[in-house]
Amino acid sequence: MPEFHYITTHVGSVPHPSADAIVHKLVETLDAPAWPQLSRRTFRENMYVQYSPTLPAIVEDAAKEKIYFDTRQDITPALEVFYEHVIADDVDYFALRPEYAGGVYAMLEALSHSPSAISHSPSAISHKPSAISHPPSAISQWAKGQVTGPISFGLTVTDQDLRASLYNDMLADAILKNAAMNARWQVRQLKTVRPNVILFVDEPYMASFGSAFISLGREQVIAMLDEVFDAIHAEGALAGVHCCANTDWGVLLATKVDILNLDAYGYIENLALYPAELRAFLDRGGAVAWGIVPNNEEIYRVSAEGLAKRLRDGIRLVSAKAAARGIRIEPEEFDQHSLLVPACGLGSTTVAVAEKVFEVLAETGVVMQTG
């Protein structure tokens, strides 16, 4: 694992009506720009819909702006076609389509024309000076992609009778393979423009783990996520996992994930409940992406200095609670194992709020990196 020193990135979703309105700002502002998900542009850029076209038996209802699996007829032929591409390792078959994910193509284009460090050492990470504008060496190392995780996809997208597809064994495995193959495709594309790639698996439904809403066991969750993480690792990228609310962090820390992303603005104290799991995660080189920058109107009531203090205080709290249970986690350990992100996605907010979030995020990165 490379060292991270509070480099900045973001979750993915933005409120902008087009990719051109935001990609260059992301490239110029963030250390690890992520391609933007543009759900306001078309419902096809919804975080579930945009990964769906390659799935067997999927139906897109444009009038109702929804997708579902149609299992009323024999889906075996569709599954056979799908698995032919999986078995053949046909990664390109699982490419994101421009009409569903215009942001990824706009980002690839923008990064291809921005200062690049493909010829530099992949393990080198240049730190920003105390200014929001980055020199070429500081913005050239990283790029980020994201894929909707199999658990959240399978619980959100149903069949025609509103049964969660996760509980249909044939569909659940296809959803899992689809996520893994799409993640591999993204890594390959992003590596053409940046030497280092992070691919996050977005699992908002993990906030419901342990409740009546998810009848999956711990080992099932770990096995499903690890299959996607293994696919990402096989392409030479780092795997992250994003959950925008509280969850059983012990489960996610027990996976093969490299970067744990949480809403640190609202839930940092909950991470302190898992000191043993966090200690083991750090020992194997894991990093935390702290969602310390609010993703709503609260952004107008905070400052970079205040958010940096809030994060440092939160990290000290995690350290103190670990010490109280006989586990040593020094606050300084996070200096080389931390990224900074907004608390969650920005798709539901306004353009003005989103751009303010990115501005404050960059400023907070400067404070943490130089403080």
pLDDT, tens digit, 9 for 90 and up, residues 120-161: 333 333 333 333 444 333 446 999 999 999 999 999 999 999
- Identify which of 195, 3, 9, 19 has the alpha carbon closest to the alpha carbon of residue 105: 19
Give the Cα separation of 213 and 205 in Å (integer).
Answer: 9
Task: Give the chain's mean pLDDT.
Answer: 92
Contact 116, 193 (CB under 8 A): yes
Contact 90, 182 (CB under 8 A): no
Q: How far apart are CA 134 and CA 80, in angstroms?
A: 49
Q: 179 burial class (0-12, 13-18, 19+ CB within 10 angstroms)?
A: buried
Assign residue 362 a region (left: φ > 0; alpha: ψ between -120 and 50; beta: otherwise): alpha
Angle between helices 351-370 and 304-324 (to 10 degrees): 60
Question: Residue 36 in contact with residue 13, Cβ under 8 Å?
Answer: yes
Q: pLDDT band for position 117 (50/70/90)?
A: very low
Return the number of other C-beta atoms located less than 10 Å from residue 260's C-beta.
Answer: 23
Provide the CA 93 distance to its chain's centre, in angstroms: 22
Other beta carbons within 10 angstroms of residue 331's beta carbon come to 15
Range in 3-7, 131-135, 174-178, 237-241 with the lowest mean pLDDT: 131-135
Contacts for 89 with CB less than 8 Å, ≥ 6 apart: none
Higher pLDDT, 58 or 128: 58
Task: Assign 116 a pLDDT band (cuts: 50, 70, 90).
Answer: low
**Do 19 and 103 touch, CB atoms closer than 8 A?**
yes
The span from the CA of 136 to the CA of 134, in Å, is: 6
Does 232 score more than 60 pLDDT?
yes
Tell me yes or no: is domain 4-370 CATH 3.20.20: yes
Determine how β-strand 337-342 pairs with β-strand 238-242: unpaired
- In which element (H, E) is residue 169 found? helix 169-190
C-alpha distances (whole Å) from 86 to each of 17, 56, 94, 141, 349 are 34, 12, 9, 31, 37
Give which of 122, 160, 174, 170 is closest to 143, Cα–Cα. 122
CA distances from 302 to 151, 158, 182, 363, 365 (A): 34, 40, 37, 12, 14
User: For position 260, what pLDDT does the model report?
Assistant: 98
Which amino acid, one-letter code, is at 23? V
The single-letter code of the amino acid at 234 is A
- Whole-angstrom distance, CA of residue 146 vs CA of residue 238: 11
Residues 150 and 63 sit within 8 Å (Cβ to Cβ): no
Say how many C-beta atoms besides its own lie within 10 A of residue 25's C-beta: 18
pLDDT digits (tens, 9 = 90+) for 249-286: 999 999 999 999 999 999 999 999 999 999 999 999 99
- What pTM, to 2 d.p., does this model score? 0.92
Alpha carbon of residue 69 to chain centroid: 25
Q: Tokens 């993640």, residue?
A: 183
